[in-house]
A and B are shown apart, each in its own frame.
Chain A
Amino acid sequence: MTLPDSKLTFTADRELFASGSARVADRAAEFLQRIDQYSDLNAFISVSEHAFGSLASDSDERYTSGLQRPLEGLAIALKDNISFKGLRLTCASRILETFEPVFNATVVERLLNSGALIIGKTNMDEFAMGSSSEHSYFGPVKNPLDPQRVPGGSSGGSAVAVAARMCHVALGSDTGGSVRQPAAFCGVVGFKPSYGRISRYGLVAFASSLDQIGIFARSVDDAALVFDVIKGHDPMDSTSVATDTRQSTTQRKGYRVGFLSDEFIDGCDESVRSAYALFREHLISRGAEVSDVSLPNKQTWIPTYFILATAEASSNLARYDGVRYGVRADDTSSDMITATRTAGFGKEVQRRIMLGTYVLSSGYYDAYYKKAQQTRRLIAEAYAEVFNKVDFIAMPTAPTTAFQRGEITDPVQMWLSDLYTVSANIAGIPAISLPFGTDSSGLPIGMQLQGAMFSDEDLLQFSGKLISA
């Protein structure tokens, strides 16, 4: 398919709803119809047809009576690792295939209270482990621009849902690029806030110190609108922080943006490299003050990320043991827990659990986990130093555009495709992927902007100006 016009945003729809020239219920029906029409893309695991429809008419009434809330009538899809009481919560895993959650994630509560309508749960790499959305118990997600290609991952279903206009906005989770990279591959905006800005309560943990809920949208304004509603401290998540921790610098005339050397991006496709150069020109044309910066420890990013992420994952996924909920394998087995986990987890998940278990083992802890914690601190310090000189750092979101399904079979090769995204998670800083041009086959390219810790609002504001016409 060719992607629908990027101007079809919620911000635009909201005007129509308020003026009475469009109805939420009609838009909802249109989205449901598109989900059905493009079901081959396999973007959704569950769709909330019934509840979604009736709530849409409530939203129309609110618009009629002028009682609309900030996100009234916003159709939003949730990655299937975010807990929503109406629909099962699978994490695209066999082990949770039938799991019915008993509570709403904090983000879900905030969305519902603001008038958003949850349209369904999107497909993903199992437990958010992957960069292609191929590793799902429910089958791979396909890129709407070319169904032979991956949509990126792990939040591939959410990226596709927004790109193919099956909803206004979608939430994903970004542990090492799982929102930004699929956003780049599908040509939409993908925003990962600073660690702690959005409550993780109800987000199924992959790597707790890196996980952050992120937003897919068709415009930066839409992303900012949703961010405003779901951000902020949550007493149920001790690692969440209050909203106004940093004074906005919006009064400044021109933002300073740092660009990295050619060597830094030498592993990228030619199309990505030339897009990066064009991005620099574009920023200058928009009045940004551009300079060269360097991040010295790039070679430590991927190892640091994979050691920390797999270590935490090995512990976070220990609860799926078949004892209390989820699928239980072979009750008669002498070791039910092992049988359940062997049958319930896919290969990539098992690989990461084993790796994480290994790096935490006695005798290896110092060499791996402890060292990774040290390099994590160094990476954050290097960023902090650069942010003394510039407001944002620009870099490609991914080294390539969307690749073919089945093209990357070596797991390490797959992990390397996260090269430009993991560092923002390691340092905890906000980052956004913006659609910026296409390659020769018309596949979208994403450019990434990263900001200092808690500069989320500034980053969104600057990004919004950049891609508005």
Chain B
Amino acid sequence: MPVDYEPIIGLEVHAQLKTASKAFCACPATFGSRPNVNTCPICLGHPGALPVLNSNLVNYAVKMGLATNCSIRGTSTFSRKNYFYPDLPKGYQISQYADPICHDGYLTIETLEGEKHVGLTRIHMEEDSGKSIHDLDVDTLVDLNRSGVPLVEIVSEPDIRSAKEAYLYLQQLRQILIYLDICDGNMEEGSLRCDANISVRPKGTAEFGIKTEVKNLNSFRNVEKAIEYEILRQIHVLESGDTVVQHTMMWDASAQQTRIMRTKEHVHDYRYFPEPDLVPVVVTSNTIDELRSELPELPSAKKKRFMEQYGLPAYDSEILSADRNLANYFESACESLRSPGKSSYKLVSNWIMTEHLRIMSDMKISVSELRITPKQTGSLVDAVADGTISNKVAKEIFPELLASDRTATQLIQERGLSQMSDEIVIRNLVREVLEKHADNVRKYKQGKTNLKGFLVGQVIKESGGTANPAMVNVVMQEELDLISMD
């Protein structure tokens, strides 16, 4: 009988923090400058230079901990992780070891089987290394702009059971980091990095199998693919009667396979010990309360609220709350409505989910770069909702709203696009048409009721296309009913 295997996965995620300056010096932590420009004696590891902790690093780490249900340590310390590498200027990385600032939290992911908690072992603060550039004809080049840029490392419990769950966990983590505005979440540029610890065991057994660590997972797609590949590889090894060897692997995206990077014999001994140049990090309960009060509403809470407050379907709420700026956009558009109400909210959601998102993806821009403001969007929905313009006209003027600073109301007035809804005018037009088309009226009365559509069309034509069709319909019916055929 074939054995059913169960994968055991834990993720280690490094998130580069968006602080203005580096973790232990005043250099800018910006991305994309010329090589080695953002450096100083401290991040270059000059003799005699000492680190000074950037308090924003602590604040950001605590916020991340609070957002992921972690306990925050009142006193935590930094340690040195010692190893030699050309892009590590001091020969050690300042990190945390025995007492990370945040510990024992969890994230909730929504799997097909329902909600699931993934435990967080720890979140700790550390500094980034520089970058080595090997793939040039010349020697290895080193860029130390990144040296000392603050990171948090977020380590999960081995609670993840599939590549899909790993994907959902990582997505949730990224969403929170972006919501907190502490990391830009860009995996391709390396501001979010993921390593996976993977093992498999026969389903039903309690003991973990031997794990491998897979590095270099630089996109969501690669995370999913590499984990899937590694699970299958390990099952294959076990099925062939062999044992999995504890290697450090790396994902080769071009070959679509995992490759051995380091064998166990070459595992580093990092010789961690307490960093003597820094004093313990103290986070008071006052600071924790203050940071907690600064936390934004998180995506899952926002989704629930959108469903309740705006009466949106789960699907709409999920999409709108996935991006904090998009959610804010939606809410300000709703707030600007002249006639608020659940049907208008749904209209706003429809517009954003179809037109706005389409434009954002076509033009590869973010919400904040959209030319149409929430207020303009609201005025458009208002105009459709109160019958000033038809949905068709609304779609026609949408591109113009994108290109101008005017509201829909202003555009409608300037272009005379508003639907004519004056009942007296419409009634007069209806009467004129009925007089002009007396024979058709007779045929209608004799039973050819489908001629009503023709007559309505004539009225709209007479109005130059501005008459509100719904109202014309009502008035037409009334007038036709008044006519007696004798």
Contact = CB atoms under 8 A, between A and B. Distances in A.
Nearest to A325: B46
B427 to A, nearest CB: 82
B91 A318 contact: yes
- Ranked 5 nearest A-B pairs via Cβ: A318-B91, A208-B276, A360-B271, A209-B276, A319-B45
A323 B92 contact: no
Given A318-B82, A321-B84, A102 B142 contact: no
Nearest to A361: B269
Contacts of A321: 84, 86, 91
Contact of A324 (B44, B48, B50): B44
A464 interface: no
A204 B47 contact: yes
A105 interface: yes
A89 B46 CA distance: 11
17 contacts: A83-B47, A91-B47, A205-B277, A237-B50, A238-B51, A239-B278, A239-B279, A311-B273, A312-B273, A315-B273, A318-B84, A319-B91, A321-B91, A323-B142, A324-B89, A325-B46, A362-B269
A34 to B, nearest CB: 28
Interface residues of A, number: 43
Instruction: Give the interface centre of B52, B142, B271 by most chain A CB atoms within 10 Å.
Output: B271
Contact of A203 (B48, B84, B271, B272): B48
Contacts of B82: 314-315, 318, 360
Given A238-B277, A360-B271, A361-B269, A315 B48 contact: no
Given A209-B276, A324-B89, A238 B46 contact: no
Nearest to B144: A324
Interface string B78-102: 0010101010011110000000000
Contacts of B277: 205, 208, 238-239
B271 A361 contact: yes
A99 B92 CA distance: 21
Contact of A319 (B47, B52, B53): B47
A96 B47 contact: yes
A44 interface: no
A337 interface: yes
Contacts of A362: 269, 271
A208 B78 CA distance: 14
B91 A101 contact: no
Interface in A53-87: 81-83
A318 B270 CA distance: 13
Given A319-B90, A324-B44, A312 B276 contact: yes
Interface in B6-60: 41, 44-53
Contacts of B48: 81-83, 89, 101, 103, 105, 200-205
A102 B41 contact: yes
Judged by DSSP, the binding face of B is loop
Contacts of A205: 47-48, 277
B37 to A, nearest CB: 15
A454 interface: no
Contacts of B89: 319, 323-324
A238 B271 contact: no
A8 interface: no
Contact of A201 (B50, B53, B144, B278): B50
B476 to A, nearest CB: 83
Which of A99, A101, A318 has the most B CB atoms < 10 Å from its CB?
Answer: A318
Contacts of B53: 238
Q: B50, B84, B91, B278 — which one has the most chain A CB atoms within 10 A of its CB?
A: B50
Contacts of B49: 103, 201-202
Interface in B228-278: 269, 271-273, 276-278
Contact of B47 (A89, A315, A361, A369): A89
A324 B80 contact: no
A99 B269 contact: no
Interface in B440-462: none
Nearest to A235: B52
Given A238-B277, A318-B92, A361-B269, A337 B80 contact: no
A42 B80 CA distance: 37
A318 B84 CA distance: 7
B161 to A, nearest CB: 31
A102 B47 contact: no
Contacts of B276: 207-209, 239, 312
A357 interface: yes
A236 interface: yes
A328 B271 CA distance: 25
Given A239-B277, A315-B82, A318-B84, A200 B41 contact: no
Nearest to A91: B47
Nearest to A89: B47
Nearest to A241: B279
Contact of A357 (B51, B86, B144, B271): B271
From A317, A324, A325, A360, name the one whose CB has the most chain B CB atoms within 10 angstroms: A324
B478 to A, nearest CB: 84
B47 A200 contact: no
B55 to A, nearest CB: 12
Interface in B108-159: 142, 144
A102 B46 contact: yes
Contacts of A357: 271
A200 B45 contact: no
B92 A315 contact: yes
Contact of B80 (A202, A315, A317): A315
Interface in A235-257: 235-239
A324 B44 CA distance: 8
Point out which of B86, B142, B276 has the most chain A C-beta atoms below 10 A from its C-beta: B276
A360 B273 contact: yes
Interface string B454-485: 00000000000000000000000000000000
Contacts of A202: 48-49
Interface string A284-328: 000000000000000000000000000110110111010111000
A236 B269 contact: no
Nearest to B269: A362
A238 B45 contact: no
Contacts of A83: 47-48
A81 B46 CA distance: 12
A317 B276 CA distance: 14
Nearest to A200: B50
A209 B92 CA distance: 17
Nearest to A326: B47
B47 A236 contact: no
Nearest to B275: A208
Nearest to A208: B276
Contacts of A315: 80, 82, 91-92, 271, 273
Give the interface centre of A102, A311, A321 by most chain B CB atoms within 10 Å.
A321
Nearest to A196: B279
Contacts of B50: 200-201, 236-238
Contacts of B144: 324
A311 B92 CA distance: 13
Q: Which of A238, A311, A312 has the most CB of B within 10 A?
A: A238
